[in-house]
Amino acid sequence: MKVEEVKVMRNEMPLSPAFGGILGNIGKIGKGIDIIRKGIGTVKVGKAAVEAINSARSVEASKRVRAVNPEDLLPQQGLVTGEVEGAPPVDAGKQGKHQEGHKNNEQSTEDKSTWIDGENGVEETQEAWEKGRWVRNREGTVKEYDSGRVVGSDGVTTEIKVHIDGKGNIHGYPKIPLDEDK
């Protein structure tokens, strides 16, 4: 983007009670009087100021995302990604709850489904998000996907459930049926 001229805009609104409040009573003021004046015209700015604006670095707030291998133990927090192009980043802390040996995995396998031993499920989670279908009554927040291969530590589960948070980060886990699901 190149800046050639800077236009300074100013909006004024009468606040006087004599004008009937914020906008006043236009009918009582008379014709030809603008209650709201917009803009004060174009202000010429020196070449140095325009060059400074044009050469300013564009700073973009970005999430720090770390690529991980499938067998990596995930960090306790932060964002990670696999090889799935276009998929949202995975919240390592939430994903870690489903990785055996991870510090965030404090529950037993009876309470929390986990990925196959030695796997972190990051790529599977991203793939499930990209290819999955919305869960009924959870559209916009939860997807399910049958990967067609065993992903769960129970040795049979092929389905993956993925949640997305308000920040656009995802986490997933094998949809292992727990005792209350049977």
Arithmetic mean of pLDDT over the chain: 76
Split at pLDDT 50, 70, 90, the class of 57 is low
Q: Are residues 173 and 90 in the same domain?
A: yes
Q: What's the pLDDT at 83? A: 87
Give yes or no for residue 5 having a pLDDT over 70.
no
Give 31's DSSP letter.
Answer: T
Split at pLDDT 50, 70, 90, the class of 17 is very low
Q: Are residues 77 and 142 in the same domain?
A: yes
**Beta-strand relationship, 159-164 and 142-146:** antiparallel
Q: What's the pLDDT at 131? A: 97
Give the largest CA-CA distance in the chain. Answer: 82
Percent of the chain with pLDDT over 70: 63
Q: What's the pLDDT at 143? A: 98
Token pair recorded at residue 32: 């030809």
Most confident of 14-18, 98-102, 163-167: 163-167
Structural domain total, the chain: 2
For residues 93-99, give the mean pLDDT: 91
Token pair recorded at residue 128: 């499930």
**Hey, is 69 helix, strand or coil?**
coil
Q: CA–CA separation, 182 vs 44, rounded Å?
A: 74
Token pair recorded at residue 16: 């006087």
Higher-pLDDT residue of 181, 71: 71
pLDDT, tens digit (0-9, with 9 covering 90-100), for 20-54: 444 444 444 444 444 444 444 556 667 777 777 66
Q: Are residues 109 and 80 in the same domain?
A: yes
Q: CA–CA separation, 159 vs 172, rounded Å?
A: 10
Q: Are residues 154 and 134 in the same domain?
A: yes
Q: Are residues 34 and 90 in the same domain?
A: no
Q: CA–CA separation, 157 vs 115, rounded Å?
A: 10
Domain range for 111: 65-181
Higher-pLDDT residue of 76, 129: 129
Q: What's the pLDDT at 12? A: 42
Q: Are residues 35 and 100 in the same domain?
A: no
Token pair recorded at residue 165: 């948070």
> How many Cβ atoms sit within 10 Å of the Cβ of residue 120?
27
Q: CA–CA separation, 44 vs 156, rounded Å?
A: 71
